[in-house]
Structure 1
Amino acid sequence: MGINIELKETADYLCDYTFNFHWHNQTIDPGDKIPFQENTRYSYSEIVEALKAGDDIHIKGDVGKNFAYSMGADLRHFGGSGDAEKAGNIFVDGNIGPEAAMGMVSGSLYASGEIEEPFGNIIEVLSDIEGYRKFRSITDIACNGPGNDTLVSNEYNSSDRTLILNDGLLRGTIGARCYNPVKIIVENDTHNGTGVLMKGGTVIVHGNAGMNTGSHLYGGKVAIHGSVGEFAGAYMKAGVLAFHEAKGFIGAGMAGGSIYSKKKAKTSSPAAKVKMKGEDSALMRKLMGAGRVESMLYNKYEVEEEKEKFMEVRMRDGSIVMRRID
């Protein structure tokens, strides 16, 4: 089985598992019909459910923003586990807009036209279907290996499970939802959301990273050998995020984990500066390539411990005692 759609004009949000982050934006409903269809009336949710069932989606025409967002993720916002799940394939006879496949974790994307940068969490492999370029999730290949596919560029080392991205393409959400102890090395800058929702593994970027780097981090390590944009480490729950400099506030709403910055960073509650220890310096030498002295100069941030609150209680004899408020 499968679904065939022909578009008269460019349509956004196709195959978007978040439905344009419906829980925040409310701009489209999953049951809404996709616009600009020729002789079909499929809804946004119908094509997502088809992908979840392992079916193929064939789209004739250009697709725009939010294409294949979080494809293959069993999203918690819709009652899911938050983990990766199997997905079908998408075939696009046309061009694809920027940020395609942000947060994609499984399935394959075939395109006959151009894909505009920045890419999402995808990497090109040799196509097994004539007339199409084939792309798979970076997380899928890093965690499970390329299988029968061959990378068009970049490198994968199966012996130590390391994926090296050295093709110079700008990508976002690299390593999204990574769940195995693998390593992803990026030899250039990255777009937004590097390491978002990671549970395991290590992402090392030899350049700068955009907004939301390490946001919602559940585990693993993200090391940026340059600067990070706004909202780095937001809502992290576990893991390690390290960088040279933050161009904005860090740690908003974080509930756990550790953030390291070579330059002093501005924090959002509840993140606060804590004391560096010997094991922290050793970690910076390993992750950031810092020298022994340099590693000791990093700044460490964690969730600020709630200070015990006390009130003054005046006793009958005139003395004052401090009583803790529970």
Structure 2
Amino acid sequence: MPVDIELRDVADHICDYTFNFYWHEHALDPDSVIPSQKGTEYTYRDLVNALKKGDTVRIKGNMGKNFAYSVGADIQHLGGSGDVEKAGRIFVDGDVGPEAAMGMVSGTLYVAGKIAQPWGNIVEMASDMESYRKFRSITDIVHNGLGNDSLLVNKYNEKERTLEIDDGILRGTIAARCNKFFRITVQGDVHNGTGVLMQDGTVIVNGNAGMNTGSHLDGATVVINGNVGEFAGAFMKSGTLVFLAAKGYIGAEMIGGTIYSKDKVKANPPVEKSKMKGEDSALIRKLMDAGRVESMLYNKYEIGEEKEKYVEVRMRDGSVIMRKID
């Protein structure tokens, strides 16, 4: 059943599939009534449930933080499968704040106003609705193709399985949860969470990346032809993450996969530096367009053999480190 809601003030966490995660040390109540409604009493859960059923949600008002977070994801943290599921359409008669659609993997957004940067995992399509801009997730396009849609500015080639993003928009969570082989190339810098939970395919960023690059990576390849922010490769399960240099520690709670860095970086135990082999250098030459000598200078990081001798320690800033047991 469609949902129509009008809001008098800017609202946060609208259509947010992660609505009962802990934010700033307190839990949001998914069954609380969204404030500042005019003539309705919808809860946060009502809007999410409508989208899960494939229904349309129409909103009059301006969106604040966490709009359309992880739409289309059956969140494992909340008891789901972690897989991608179908989602309905969202219409917004108003403006949208930064980081909208972070982790979004299906469904369609129609926005009458502006969307502040950085965006999440979305690209703009040629609109089929007058007075609205249309957006789909990168993951949805990779999994299901364009169909009758067409991209604005960016380039998609189904036969070659490529998507090139070169519109100058700063984005986060690019290719979140992708499980189909595709090569996604981004010209320029990216925001946080590139390749999060990605199982297949390759993301190539010709620029720098933000925090949590390659976090929860689960079999795919993420290539950053620049530097990455804190917590690169956190919770990584498998796959390959490559970059030039990293800020802070890499590999927090990493359990598998391989990280390559041109510069030496600090690693959270049990991640440790391991020996580069011939096949590693060959991979670097392929992924980073490096020469033979340059490829041999990269540093390789994997899980060490003494994982049982470390204990997890959660820091005040929310980060996780592995501390060696004496």
TM-score category (smaller protein): over 0.9
2:298 maps to: 298
Q: Is the contact made by 1:127 and 1:133 (CA closer than 8 Å) also made in structure 2?
A: yes
Match of 2:320 in 1: none
Aligned residues: 309
Change (3 A) 1:36 1:288: same
CA positional deviation for 1:23: 8.4
- The match for 2:241 is 241
Task: Say whether the 8 Å CA contact 2:91–2:111 is kept in structure 1.
Answer: yes
The one-letter code sitting in structure 2 at the alignment partner of 1:262 is: K
Query: For 2:13 and 2:307, how far apart are their aligned partners in 1?
Result: 45
Find the residue that maps to 2:244 and give its secondary structure.
Answer: strand
The aligned counterpart of 2:34 is 34
Amino acid across the alignment from 1:225: N
Aligned to 1:191: 191
Q: Structure 1: how far apart are the matches of 2:242 and 2:215?
A: 12
Match of 2:209 in 1: 209
C-alpha contact 2:270 2:307 (8 A) present in aligned 1: no
1:22 deviates by 3.7
TM-score by length of 1: 0.92
The gaps in structure 2 that reach 5 residues or longer are 310-326
- Name the residue aligned to 2:118: 118
Give the aligned CA root-mean-square deviation in angstroms.
Answer: 1.4
Alpha-carbon separation, structure 2, partners of 1:189 and 1:142: 21
* C-alpha deviation, 1:133, in angstroms: 0.2
One-letter amino acid of the structure 1 residue matched with residue 134 of structure 2: K
Q: Which runs of 5+ in 1 are unaligned?
A: 310-326
Relative distance call for 1:128 and 1:271 in structure 2 (3 A) is: same
CA contact (8 A) 1:23 1:77 kept: no
Amino acid at match of 2:243: F
| SS of equivalent residue, structure 2 residue 84 | coil
Aligned twin of 1:66: 66
2:323 match:
none
Superposition pairs for residues 1-326 of structure 1, below 5 Å? 1-19=1-19, 21-22=21-22, 25-306=25-306
- CA 1:308–1:177 in 2, change beyond 3 Å: closer, same or farther? closer
Amino acid at match of 1:6: E
Residue 25 of structure 1 and its aligned partner are, at CA, apart by 4.4
Cα distance between partner residues in 2 of 1:33 and 1:268:
42
Contact 2:215/2:236 (<8 A) preserved: yes
Amino acid across the alignment from 2:250: I
SS at structure 1 position matched to 2:95: coil
Contact 2:270 2:306 survives alignment (8 Å): no
Question: Residues 174-222 of structure 1: CA distance to partner in whole angstroms, max 9, x if unpaired?
Answer: 0100100111000000000000110111000000000000001111000
Shift of 1:299: 0.3
